[in-house]
Structure 1
Amino acid sequence: MTEDDFLGGRVRAAQPAVGYRAGTDAVLLAAAVPAKPGQSVLELGCGAGVASLCLAVRVPDLRLTGIERQLPYAGLARTNAARNGVKMEIVTADITNLPASLRGQSFDHVFANPPYYLRTRGSAACDPGREAALGEETPLSQWMDVATRRLVPGGWLTVIQRVERLPDLMQALDDRLGSAELLPLAPRQGRAAKLGVLRARKGARGAFRLLPPLVLHMGARHETDGESYTPPVRAVLRQAAALPWPGD
């Protein structure tokens, strides 16, 4: 196990030294969730709980619930929440087979970092925990259906995904969700985005919007050791700022 700091040390989380490890993606995802104090939030596939804990630092007084099918990671999420003083319910279950207690609940926000990779297009990871987190078994369409069902009318869905999977993600949205907005995350100015963050609202009817990309790093290339994040991204990663979102 390792002990890892997030948000400039505001979150400290235990993670497997070998296996699936939350990183920048989880922090950026949490920063994109437009939650407000007092609201309810559900994370699908919460792993060791890092994303939800980062969200709790930025937005106080949330009712947090996480679903994680891998028992060791669910246990880590409970431990990490307790160590960081965050009240969070962790449910050990597959998202396709939720317990009745969860099927009877609705949430203001549902967010997720679904597996990035189709295993018809790549090799499986050697570590079972990492493979379960990164290799798709449950189709994106099911992730989106489960998320949509758990949202209250007017509730927000927030998802991060690799660019090559965005067509699948967009196809998985149906007419229950609208006003979808996609924020590409470009590694540097002039470079193609590798990730995108999607937000959509249940029951909304607005047209889809492709937003200008958020550039993560300064300069045309990596030239020196040390951080090169742009000031807005550094504020997200180190000061628990919200992800800059056009129109917010």
Structure 2
Amino acid sequence: MSSAADAPPPAEAWLGGCLTLRQPPRGAHRAGTDAVLLAASAGAQAGETVCDLGAGTGAVGLAVARACPETRVMLVERDPEAAALACLNAEENGLSARVRVIEADVTAQGRERRSAGLLPDSVDLLLTNPPFFEPGRHRASPVAARAAAHGFSEPGGLEAWLRTCADLLRPGGRLVLIHRADALPACLDALAGRFGGIQVTPVQPRADTAAIRVLVAGVRGSRAPFVLMPALVLHGPDGRFTDRVEAMHRGEGLS
């Protein structure tokens, strides 16, 4: 018989109740506004195979699966406990028939990735929130799972991560990622030669502040020009979410 310590964390409403998620307790890595913005930027279409790469407990990919019933979704996560919660979340939201969880290291060599089920040219839309830091560039969290989610263990991690994105996507497939604003040059360097039609949306806390995040979209193999999109502003003068961002948190307009 399982002990109370073995029981999964309680289910919580997410995206205004569009989903219920079981997530680690606060202090560990949990889905927040970054995941909301990424899910809201997905643009999934009927019949597509969608991959949430570095899925954690599955928030982004499950949101897309719920909003677009004719998609097939892969949740890729290397942490066994997070992957197990992603499986449970898919089941409890009635999405198991269209959602597959793959436990794999995104930055592993090609043969290892493919043996885990990450096959080349197999994805139409890839959504990802990569770890934010290269080793030695930040103070790692004392919580091991949070530290692993926020930082790469080896130099060149972002390059390897985005190389895997290109490998998984079909020619013409679409990538959407969210990252720190100051990491934009590194993101663009890693995407060069693999993606075109790059669109960058700065994400600002308020209209009069510098961006803290960027949403970056691109198309594998495209030669379309770069586009800098209008900024997405999170908070109004009163400190509350803007109407647009509040609607995103309720899951409105998600596709």
Q: TM-score, normalised by structure 1?
A: 0.90
AA aligned to 2:73 is L
Asked if 2 retains the 8 angstrom alpha-carbon contact of 1:37 and 1:59, the reply is yes
Residue 60 of structure 2 corresponds to 51
Q: Report the 3-state secondary structure (helix = DSSP H, G, I; strand = E; otherwise coil) of the residue aligned with 2:118.
A: helix
Q: Which runs of 4+ in 1 moved over 6 A?
A: none
Report the Cα offset of residue 119 of structure 1: 3.3
Residues 154 and 201 in structure 1, CA contact (< 8 A), matched pair in contact too: yes
Q: Does 1:203 align with 2:221?
A: yes
1:41 is aligned, of 50, 62, 75, to: 50
Corresponding residue SS for 2:224: coil
Identity rate, percent:
35
Where do residues 187-198 of structure 1 align in structure 2 (5 Å cutoff)? 187-198=205-216
Counterpart of 2:101 in structure 1 is: 90
Alpha-carbon deviations, 1:103-130, whole Å to 9, x = none? Answer: 2551101111001123322211011110
Cα deviation, residue 2, structure 1: 4.2
Give structure 1 stretches of 5+ with no counterpart: 223-227, 244-248
Residues 154 and 233 of structure 1: is their aligned pair in 2 closer, same or farther, counting only changes over 3 Å?
same
Does the CA-based 8 Å contact 1:54-1:240 persist in structure 2? no
1:229 to 2:244 alignment: no
3-state SS of 1:41 partner: strand
> Match for residue 27 of structure 1?
36
Q: How does 1:106-145 map to 2 (within 5 A)?
A: 106-137=122-153, 139-145=157-163
Residue aligning to 2:253: 241
Segment drifting more, 71-80 vs 134-143: 134-143
Structure 1 Cα separation of the partners of residues 209 and 148 of structure 2 = 30
Aligned CA RMSD, in angstroms, stands at: 1.6
Task: Quote the Cα distance in structure 1 between the aligned partners of 2:54 and 2:241.
Answer: 27
Q: Secondary structure at the match of 1:132?
A: helix
The CA distance in 1 between the partners of 2:168 and 2:81, in whole Å, is 25
Q: Does 1:4 align with 2:12?
A: yes
Separation in 1, partners of 2:220, 2:151 = 27
Instruction: Tell me the matched-pair count.
Output: 237
Compute the displacement of 1:240 (Å): 3.0
- Does the Cα contact within 8 Å between 2:113 and 2:119 map onto a contact in 1? yes
Instruction: Describe the SS at the equivalent of 1:133.
Output: helix
Q: Which of 89, 99, 102 is matched with 2:114 structurally? A: 99
